[in-house]
Amino acid sequence: MRDILGDLQGRADQLKEQISAENARFEGLLRQLKTKRDSSLEHLRAQRRLANKLLEFTAWHDNLRAELAARIAAAEATETLIRKSLGTGG
């Protein structure tokens, strides 16, 4: 009976060691995956920041074009009025 108990205890200890080793291996793999994920997320965040800047620039550019078009139209209308008032008409 003692031989069986000692054998079972030895097997249990061996299984504990194997489980501990696999757990450590699992934790290491988990750390690697988290590091890789964090790196990928940072890359995506950087791309998002660049895309947002591009969208801001595009909106600014569109507003500038609209403002310039409005001012050119106003200048042309003013020029036309001045020519009419001077009688040149052209």
Predicted pLDDT of residue 3: 83
The model's pTM: 0.57
CA dihedral (59, 63, 66, 69) positive or negative: negative
What pLDDT digit, counting tens, does each position of 23-60 carry? 999 999 999 999 999 999 999 999 999 999 999 999 99
Cα Rg for the chain, rounded, in angstroms? 38
Q: Would you state the pLDDT for residue 11?
A: 95
Q: In this predicted structure, what is the pLDDT of residue 29?
A: 98
How far apart, in Å, are the Cα atoms of 6 and each of 13, 18, 33, 79? 10, 18, 40, 108
